[in-house]
Structure 1
């Protein structure tokens, strides 16, 4: 039966590379096993599907579309087996059973919401495998996804939906447009998660009947984005952004079909940051040494810094805002837990939370999440935080908010700097840029006297930037490779730190914390700014071997 079905599927237009039956597809046994598969770890299975079809030719789990079953002896057994497999495969949209004389199609509409069609015909390329719910979804009817689910959803959207859009071709533009739809979803979640709105029909959903669902849905989402853009233009968007969604109606519809069943802004706000960073890393960031800081690192790091409403905080390499979001969450929980205290939290966030990143998508995502969590978006800034000498001319908002026109270009105004800077052996700031920005740490690393600078690892340059941003007595929390403090190559570093920074604490970070992105042993270091060092001293270190 399998070979007959495969032959017919190929005749209908499916590509052979979209089909898999040798070997059969292993289906994870539990959600925990699903997460293990997402991390490329060994996992237990509940069975293997006779045949599967993918949305593209990647053969990847995020592209899984249809599961076929032929082994079950009758329609009831086939239905039960398909439901079991579909429940364990969050990305699969449809199951199909046949024994040659009877057939059954099952569409997965929600977590346990099935549409069963007996006597169904074989699926064809271009069929719409999504099924709208009978009633408009509410906050109480959608659910919080697991980390693996949300990561897979976003991978699927990028790899199989947005990438094939006929109107937007550049990868960066595709991700920007996808983010704009995600922003609409974030805003929708923020509004309908309020206690008074949890039973109201959500706006971010599928609209229309079968014959006009694509155009009606796209039309509604375009309206929602235009409204969101007009209200948040100066707080979230950048000057080059426009109020129109550029993706085609079909792409918008497909994205909404994937996202509407999930609470992507819920109690576990780190899920979105994690999932979004996962595909950004694979698409754009790994070559730039930027790696997601996992929540299991972020949360204890912020706790160790003991941030309060008396602090002014900045992350000069904020990425998708993990440290800033957690700082806001912890201050809210400790000092402003009551709803009537919300205004105090908003004021603190607006005045005292700052972030900088070169990536406009990360900046917009951070801004949107901060707004949804009680603001703080006002000072999430786009620009190059390292090349401070360019702030007066190229990054004027950085100059206006945290800098000045003359050297050292940076104002000492923060009590906490917390960051996970990009790192990598080959990721360095050139000597000429270090000289122009006045980074003394590069001069010390040269070990050749005044006026001599060397190309230096960007993480170490961030260490000096953090020192410059701080008031005396302020504290730095920074993720750095431990080799900086143990290798003979960096024997000059204690001399530079003397009179500037004093180590106040260190937390070990297990290597597997960054296993999805890199293999580097790092620690979270806490330093106190004790002074400015001997500015007149010449960095000289004996070349004598130990």
Structure 2
């Protein structure tokens, strides 16, 4: 270390010396950030604000941060460096505080130029401290699993920002590093298959009798064997899960093996094992996956996650009971269906001895449809883990009924075709459909599927018009419902107040009565869209009878 650097400005001299040494070890310049210094969030809710791009409070700034890639994003943080504190104990306190507030950082490193200290996270409220530690090199394994196999009680319940960041980091790991799977859709599928193993492990060990037993989803082996043994065990667990759930969760082209490399499987497990991802707050997992899918693959498709603060009161307002037959024809990751299942369970079947009744109701009366195979698979897995109801979660295009017999035979088998479309089958339709002016069902598809709403929107009498898909879902809901049934649907406010849609009240008045409306603040969907929406509750009414024709 150059004496002149330290004499001139001690902390800055130490920092510049460390930066030069890290560069010599192979860290790239774009992986290191010190100008400006990295702001550390003050509390968990500040993590969420940062995730949403909002202003947040900080508890300090890190002297230097090393990232896994060149993104310099929170999910990629590897190491936090500190040089300010005058002694090792003060340095340890500061690092521990910063590592607690940056949940994705793997390691903290402190030095004053003569002493060094490395701190690794254990994820179970304890830390590994190494005095006199060497600087971390790029590619070092910074994971520190517990000395004893973790139980459910050792796992941490993450916040939404933390789990979202974990999934961003996982996809970055797979995209950047896996040597066996290269296509994005295949990578996403393989990540989901590992997450299903995690979901199953959480479902099993969250039950009270298993909370002190080592969980299945964890790191296996010692430092020399942990990559190979962990990957081997995950492959075994997935094969077992696939065998048991093949017909209930998986698609026909899925295989009973994980295609990712051993190194990638280990990296994913090392990121995910410390957290409880299946808990009471169903929004955490759904939101994390929605953010992941939106940023990685699905942007621009017009379908936005419904936050739990909207889902929960919406399902309450619909007053769903075990007498209802419920469908969400745009179920996404299953938020409405899972909340309906949860509320019916809590109100009507709270005892464990009644679980079989709940399972029967769910399997007979909960339906979901979505075009996205990832969302369908995740919904099925969540519902299996939360007392089933996965039987009728179907993949396909719900609105293009004319395509069911040829493209989505399962939908045709379950719900019928255009000619024999199921009428009066459901008492509740609840959905947050895709919407947007650029997301339309063509006039020809509307005509072939028999939608009257596109004819009502047309400026040419007797002709169909291209129509926003959200409005087509409104007629789909009408066709799915029995008379007296209710639909709860999230739609843009503009549909009901703009002159452009002045034809809509006339179409509605012979089909629906408005029974209620929940205001949805614009910030509810702020991560994804800026449209002002509401949750509308309509009741299906009987069509007025046409007067009998008089004989001439």
**TM-score, normalization by structure 1:** 0.96
Residue from 112, 115, 135 that aligns with 2:128:
115
Please state whether the residue corresponding to 2:489 is helix, strand or coil. Answer: strand
Q: Distance in 2 between matches of 1:116 and 1:100?
A: 18
Please state whether the residue corresponding to 1:110 is helix, strand or coil. Answer: coil
Q: Distance in 1 between matches of 2:250 and 2:508?
A: 39
Assess if the C-alpha contact under 8 Å between 1:222 and 1:244 holds in 2.
yes
Unaligned runs of 5+ in 1: 537-546
Residue from 108, 117, 120 that aligns with 1:104:
117
Q: Which residue of 1 aligns with 2:8?
A: none
Please state whether the residue corresponding to 1:180 is helix, strand or coil. Answer: helix
Q: Which residue of 2 aligns with 1:391?
A: 404
Please state whether the residue corresponding to 1:154 is helix, strand or coil. Answer: helix
**TM-score, normalization by structure 2:** 0.95
Report the CA distance between 1:403 and its aligned residue.
1.5
Matched, 1:525 2:536: yes
Matched, 1:151 2:164: yes
Report the CA distance between 1:171 and its aligned residue.
1.1
Q: Distance in 2 between matches of 1:297 and 1:372?
A: 23
Q: Distance in 2 between matches of 1:163 and 1:303?
A: 44
Assess if the C-alpha contact under 8 Å between 1:383 and 1:395 holds in 2.
yes
Q: Which residue of 2 aligns with 1:540?
A: none
Please state whether the residue corresponding to 2:173 is helix, strand or coil. Answer: helix
Please state whether the residue corresponding to 1:26 is helix, strand or coil. Answer: strand
Q: Which residue of 1 aligns with 2:494?
A: 483
Q: Distance in 2 between matches of 1:9 and 1:163?
A: 22
Please state whether the residue corresponding to 1:125 is helix, strand or coil. Answer: coil
Pairs aligned (count): 534
**Aligned in 2, Cα 1:399/1:332: closer, same or farther, shift over 3 Å?**
same
Q: Distance in 1 between matches of 2:256 and 2:151?
A: 27
Residue from 432, 452, 455 that aligns with 1:440:
452
**Aligned in 2, Cα 1:535/1:178: closer, same or farther, shift over 3 Å?**
farther
Report the CA distance between 1:284 and its aligned residue.
2.3
Assess if the C-alpha contact under 8 Å between 2:158 and 2:277 holds in 1.
yes
Q: Which residue of 1 aligns with 2:425?
A: 413
RMSD: 1.3
Please state whether the residue corresponding to 1:291 is helix, strand or coil. Answer: coil
Mapping for residues 82-481 of structure 1, pairs under 5 Å: 82-404=95-417, 406-407=418-419, 409-450=421-462, 452-481=463-492
Report the CA distance between 1:423 and its aligned residue.
0.9
Unaligned runs of 5+ in 2: 1-13, 548-552
Q: Distance in 1 between matches of 2:189 and 2:176?
A: 12
Matched, 1:494 2:509: no
Assess if the C-alpha contact under 8 Å between 1:413 and 1:470 holds in 2.
yes
Please state whether the residue corresponding to 2:153 is helix, strand or coil. Answer: coil
Please state whether the residue corresponding to 1:90 is helix, strand or coil. Answer: coil
Can you list the C-alpha shifts for 1:170-204, whole angstroms capped at 9, x where unaligned? 11111110000000000000001111111001111
Report the CA distance between 1:533 and its aligned residue.
6.5
**Aligned in 2, Cα 1:471/1:78: closer, same or farther, shift over 3 Å?**
same
Moved more, 140-149 or 470-479: 140-149
Q: Which residue of 1 aligns with 2:10?
A: none
Report the CA distance between 1:409 and its aligned residue.
3.3
Report the CA distance between 1:535 and its aligned residue.
9.3
Q: Distance in 1 between matches of 2:130 and 2:494?
A: 61
Please state whether the residue corresponding to 1:183 is helix, strand or coil. Answer: helix
Mapping for residues 22-37 of structure 1, pairs under 5 Å: 22-37=35-50
Which stretches of structure 1, 4 residues or longer, exceed 4 Å deviation after superposition? 532-536
Q: Which residue of 2 aligns with 1:65?
A: 78
Assess if the C-alpha contact under 8 Å between 2:124 and 2:154 holds in 1.
no
